[in-house]
Amino acid sequence: MGTSFNEQFDQHGTWRREFALRLKLLSEWLKDHDLLDSAVEERLRRLETQMRSDKVMVAFVAEFSRGKSELINAIFFAGYKRRIMPASAGRTTMCPTELGYDADVPPCLRLLPIETRLQPQPLMEWRMATEKWTRVDLDVNDPAQLAKAFEKVAEIRHVTKAEAKALGFWHDDAPEDNPMVNAQGMVEVPKWRHALINIAHPLLKQGLVILDTPGLNAIGAEPELTVNLIPQAHAVVFILAADTGVTKSDLSIWREHLITESDNIDSRLVVLNKIDTMWDSLSTPAQIQAQIDRQRATSAEILGLPAEQVIPVSAQKGLVAKVNNDAALLQASQLPVLERALSQGVMGQRQKILRSAVAGGIGELRVEAGRAIHIRRRDLAEQMLELKGLRGKNTSVIRHMRSRIEQEQVDFDVSGARIHAVRSVHLKLLRDVFTLLGTATLKTEMAELTAALRQPGIKLGVRKAYASTFDRLRLGLQTAQSKSADIQSMLTGTFRQLNAEYGFSLQAPREPDLARYERDLDLVERSHNQYLGMGNAFRLAQPEFADRLVRALGTRLRVVFESALGEVELWNKSAAAQLDAQLRERRRNFGRRLEAIERIQQAATGLDDRIAEIEAHETAIDELDAKLTELTDHLVNIQVTGHAPAEPLLHAA
Q: Whole-angstrom Cα distance, residue 318 to residue 200?
A: 23
Would you say the C-alpha torsion 401, 407, 413, 418 has a positive or negative sign? negative
Phi/psi-derived region of residue 642, left when phi > 0, alpha when psi is between -120 and 50, beta in every other case: left
- Interacting residues of 618 by C-beta distance below 8 A, sequence separation 6+: 377, 380, 381, 384
Q: Map residue 137 onto helix, strand or coil.
A: strand
Q: Whole-angstrom Cα distance, residue 31 to residue 177?
A: 62
Q: Whole-angstrom Cα distance, residue 100 to residue 107?
A: 10
Pairing of strands 108-113, 134-137: antiparallel
* 3 state SS for 504-545: CCCCCCCCCCCHHHHHHHHHHHHHHHHHHCHHHHHHHCCHHH
Amino acid 421: pLDDT: 77
Q: Whole-angstrom Cα distance, residue 372 to residue 380?
A: 13
Pairing of strands 268-273, 310-312: parallel
Q: How many other CB atoms sit within 10 Å of the CB of residue 397?
A: 11
Amino acid at 290: A
* 3 state SS for 351-365: HHHHHHHHHHHHHHH
Amino acid 270: pLDDT: 92
Amino acid 573: pLDDT: 84
Nearest to 462 by CA among 560, 549, 551, 554: 549
Amino acid 537: pLDDT: 60
Amino acid 13: pLDDT: 76
Which residues of 344-459 form beta strands (DSSP E)?
none
Mean pLDDT by 10 residues, the chain (653 residues): 64 78 86 84 82 80 85 87 75 80 91 89 84 91 88 89 83 72 86 91 81 73 73 86 87 76 67 89 86 91 89 94 93 90 72 77 84 84 80 75 83 74 80 90 90 70 85 93 90 86 81 89 79 61 74 87 90 83 81 79 71 89 90 72 43 36
Amino acid 638: pLDDT: 63
Amino acid 576: pLDDT: 83
C-alpha to C-alpha distances, 646 to 24, 362, 468, 624, nearest whole angstrom:
17, 19, 55, 20
Which residues of 179-309 form beta strands (DSSP E)?
187-190, 192-198, 208-212, 235-241, 268-273
Q: Whole-angstrom Cα distance, residue 150 to residue 97?
A: 10
C-alpha to C-alpha distances, 499 to 60, 375, 503, 572, 631, nearest whole angstrom:
57, 12, 5, 19, 30
Q: Whole-angstrom Cα distance, residue 645 to residue 287?
A: 52
Q: Map residue 19 onto helix, strand or coil.
A: helix
Amino acid 34: pLDDT: 86
Opening angle at CA 475, ends 472 and 480, nearest 5: 130
Calculate the CA 28 to chain-centre distance: 25
